[in-house]
Each structure stands twice: as C-alpha cells, then as structure tokens.
Chains A and B, each alone.
Chain A
Amino acid sequence: MTLLFIAYGLSFIIGILMLVRVFKASVLDGVLTFFIPLYFIVPLIKHWSDPDHDIKFHVLALFACVGMALWGATRMTQEFAGDPGGFLSSHLVSASAEERQKFVQDMRDEGIAISAEDEKAIVSGNKDEVAKAFGHVMETAHAKGLGEEAVSVGAATSGGSRKRDAEFDNPRPVAVPDRPVEVMSYAEAARRAVFNRGRWTREATGFSVDVPARFRLISPTDARRLEQARGRAEDKRLMGWILHENLNLADPDIWHVSMRWHSDGWVSSIAFDPAQQLTTALANKTPAPRVAVSAGDLVGYAAVPQLEGQVLSWTEERVLTNSDTHVVDCHALRLGLRGMLEFSIVGMEPGSLALCQTTVRLLADKSSFLPGKEYVASAPAGVAAAPYTVATLPTHSY
C-alpha cells in the first residue's frame, strides 16, 4: 500500500513539473494538456529536440510511476487475498482509536456480527490481538453466512465449493441467514436506504427485475430494516421493496410493493373457477396465506384470479381486524421453475384499486427468470412440486 501511495505522489509531482514545462513553451498547449487526456503527446513530439521544453523524461518517469502503482496494487490485492485478517489488522493498528471504533461500527452496519471481546481487541490497536479478533470474526461470519454477498465472495475465493444457487435449488423455504437486523428508527432506516434503478438481478435465486423508470428498488437488507422499524415481524421471503419515485420513503405510511421469493417448488398451473375459489376461501376459517396479506378477513375478490402467460394475479378486498376499514391487497406472481416471485401491495385504499393492480402487474411483467430457471408448463423431472397450485393459492387453503 505504501508503494502505491509513493507512486501516486511521485506521478503527481512529475505531472506538475511536466505541465510547468509545457506552459513555458505554449500557454495553449499547457491548458490543453491539463484538460485533455493524452494531449501531452502533442508537446512531447513538438518539443522532442528542444532541450529547454522537451518532456520526454517526464513522460518516461510518469510511465515508471504507473508501473510502480500497478505493481503495488497487485501486491496489495494478493496480500489481502492471502491473509485478509493480517492485512486489515496491520493497517488498523496505525489508525486512531476513533477510526478503529468507526470501522467496527461500519462492519456491524454491513451485518457482520462482532462480539464485545472482538470489538475490544480491535479497538485496542494491538496488532496480534487485532489479527486474532479478525480471524474470529471472519470464522463466525463464514459459519453463519452473510447472505448473497457472502455467497458470491465464498464462491469466488473457495473455488466454488459453496453452491451459488443453493437458495434456488432448495425446494423448501430457505431461511434467510441469521443476519441481525439492526433496530433503528424508521426515519434512520429510510435515510440509510439505497435506491436501485435499472435492471436488478439476484443470481443466487435466478431472477431479475427491470425496474420501471419511475420506480426505485430497495434491497432486501434495507427493506428488512424498514419493516423492522415499522414494528413488523421479520419476513424471511422478502427480496425488497419497490416504490414510485413520487412517494416519500420518510413517510412510514407510504404504500410500496413487497417483492417476495417462494422457493417451494414447481407450481402446477391447472385450470380454476374464481367463484369456486372464493367459496373455498370464504369457507376456510383458518386461512394460511402464502402471499403477503393485510391483517383481516377476506370479503371478496376485487379482481378475480387470472393466469396470463406465467403471471397469476388477483386482488382481495379485506376488512381489517377489529375495524370496519376495508382495504385491497393486490398480488401478481411470476411462476418460475422451482418457485415463484411475488409482487404484492397490501392495505391499499379500495379507491386506489386500479393503481394497485396496474403496479403489481407491471412489475410482474418486468421480471424474468434467468435461462434454465424459467417456468415450464408440465412437471419437470427432478424438481419437487409446490404444496399448492395456481388454483389453491388465492384460496389460502392447501
């Protein structure tokens, strides 16, 4: 790392000296060299034989610095890959106690569990203790798993010993790794949330969402923080929130789309009769919804279940528990080979039914499964079937 900084420093000084020399020859060339990359080639050639203004030795020295910087960066990467704990500890001991404390907090913010003993050792600044604490923290992190990021890193560093799409290939619901969700105020969780635009891909699960231009996607970690801050129980299937750009995330009562992944297996797309489905749903006194729903009883279908292509959509009207308030819950589910991707808005005012339906349907249409993980009409060999079908899902009876 020191070599890298020396190379940067030297190249900066040589660059200034070169610029001064070019300015002395021509102000225009100096300005152009300053603003246009690679323009230095012009004064280099122009003044090649002029002993007062030639910059060939400056350029040569600059190239030497670039080579040194590259070598330094390569060495640093190798050093880190070989012994991450030792590398970080050797640099942390030179930092101040406040910086070390902040480093610990940043790691916790990233969801890495650090015990009180390890924190004490890291903050102490003792090189051996810091290295030991790092080793312990990394062992714990690997043992518990760190979600998708850890899976990607694990696959890259351990020669792919860890299966990348373990989440997708497991036909049973996979619990999200026990990453402690930080307890914080909703305002703080909203402030920290990062908005994603464009295509968002979750390779471990095998799907991607082309986030519409006026929408923003909030990652699973941020979405869980927001849910936690709203006092909701942790949703292990939650893959993120998607919300319209006109809505202010700082408002805790904002409506949003919950994106959820059900890795329950292949879902049979048999024919269904909405009237029969509603009869079954109303007769069921102990419903067990798989999809996200409002806390209340089903009154009817504000829009009957429909299967169009590989997207099952319907809207339920519910009356909230201990209240006379009616709300609508909109659902659009894209079927995949070994599960389904859910887009749901819950607790919307019945007056916003069209907005609710159009939004979930748009997002389902904008989502897709990666090659080899798309839905097939007939039961695929070697793939477990889900304990429900497109006919039974809207009834909440399986």
Chain B
Amino acid sequence: MRALMVVMLAAASMDVAAADPSEAKIDQLMSAAAKPAAARPAEPKAAKAKANEPDSATSLVGQRVAVTTRSNGLYLGTLTSVTRDALVLAIELPSRNLSYSVPRSSVASISPR
C-alpha cells in the first residue's frame, strides 16, 4: 500500500512538473480570482520612508508626461496633480477628457514628453 502511494505521489509530481509554466500560472491566477479579495498588505516601511522624501514628480505637474508602469504599461497625458498615493493625468480621448489616476505603487518611471 505504501509503495502504491509513493508511486501515485511520484506520478502526481511528474504531472505538475510537466505542466507548462504559463498554464500553471493561469491556474494560480484563476484560483486567486475565485477567492475573495484579501486584505491589502501593509505598506512596507521602505515605501513609507520614501513617501516622506521630496517628490521629483511634482516638478512635472502641468507638463505632458509618459508614465510607465511596473506591468510594462504606458500612459500619456498631462500631469495635473501628484499625491502620496497616485499620479493624476489628464488624457484627451475622442469623446471626452479623462482624469486618470495611476497608483504610485505601480509607477515604474515618469518622464516628460
């Protein structure tokens, strides 16, 4: 019986190892999406300390900027305000002018355009 269980466990682990990494990632993301949203983790101390430092983004307020995000995203617009939590861009869309807020935690870089 023990040998049978060992063989079954080995087979199961081989199956997991053989799965495509992208497929495994999708499974994880699907499971995460199915679970209720977890409480937001506390902001790291380093980030808190950084928040107290002078903000270079404030110097770009009023300018047209390109904001790149940590997920390789890109947003273009006029920087209208900078807060501790977000950068606010004014983006001109075909049908309206949008005030778009980019969370500071997801910003990778900001540069004038």
**A interface residues with partner B (beta carbon < 8 Å):** 212-214, 244, 246, 274-275, 278-279, 282, 284-287, 297-304, 306, 315, 317, 319, 321, 352-355, 358-359, 361-362, 365
Contact = CB atoms under 8 A, between A and B. Distances in A.
A274 B66 CA distance: 11
A303 B26 contact: no
B73 A303 contact: yes
Interface stretch (B3-11, B45-53, B79-87, B91-99): B91-99
B29 A358 contact: yes
Contacts of B96: 297
B68 to A, nearest CB: 8
Contact of B26 (A282, A297, A304, A358): A358
Nearest to A304: B74
Given A282-B91, A299-B100, A317 B76 contact: no
Nearest to A285: B94
A214 B27 contact: yes
B56 interface: no
A214 B94 CA distance: 40
Given A362-B22, A365-B22, A246 B30 contact: yes
B71 A355 contact: no
B66 A299 contact: no
Contacts of B13: none
Q: Which 10 A-B pairs have the closest CB atoms?
A: A300-B75, A297-B93, A355-B29, A362-B22, A285-B94, A301-B74, A302-B73, A303-B72, A304-B74, A212-B23
For B66, B74, B96, which residue has the most chain A Cβ atoms within 10 angstroms? B74
Interface residues of B, number: 28
Interface SS majority for chain B: mixed
Nearest to B67: A300
20 contacts: A212-B23, A213-B19, A213-B23, A214-B26, A279-B76, A282-B76, A282-B91, A297-B94, A299-B75, A299-B91, A300-B74, A301-B73, A301-B74, A317-B73, A319-B98, A354-B71, A355-B29, A355-B30, A358-B26, A362-B23
B26 A244 contact: yes
A311 to B, nearest CB: 13
A250 B98 CA distance: 36
A67 to B, nearest CB: 46
Contacts of A302: 69, 71, 73
B39 interface: no
Contacts of A353: 71
B35 interface: no
A362 B26 contact: yes
Nearest to A355: B29
B95 A297 contact: yes
Interface SS majority for chain A: mixed
Given A212-B23, A214-B23, A299-B91, A355 B73 contact: no
Interface of B: 19-20, 22-23, 25-27, 29-30, 33-34, 66, 69, 71-76, 91-96, 98, 100, 113
Given A282-B76, A301-B74, A212 B93 contact: no
A286 B95 CA distance: 10
Contacts of B91: 282, 299-300
A72 to B, nearest CB: 47
Contacts of B75: 278, 299-301, 317
Contacts of B73: 300-304, 315, 317
B12 to A, nearest CB: 15
A275 B30 contact: no
Nearest to B19: A213
A359 B26 contact: yes
B72 A352 contact: no
Contacts of A214: 23, 26-27
Nearest to B91: A299
Nearest to A328: B73
B29 A275 contact: no
Contacts of B30: 244, 246, 355
Contacts of A246: 30, 34
Contact of A362 (B20, B74, B94): B20
A175 B74 CA distance: 36
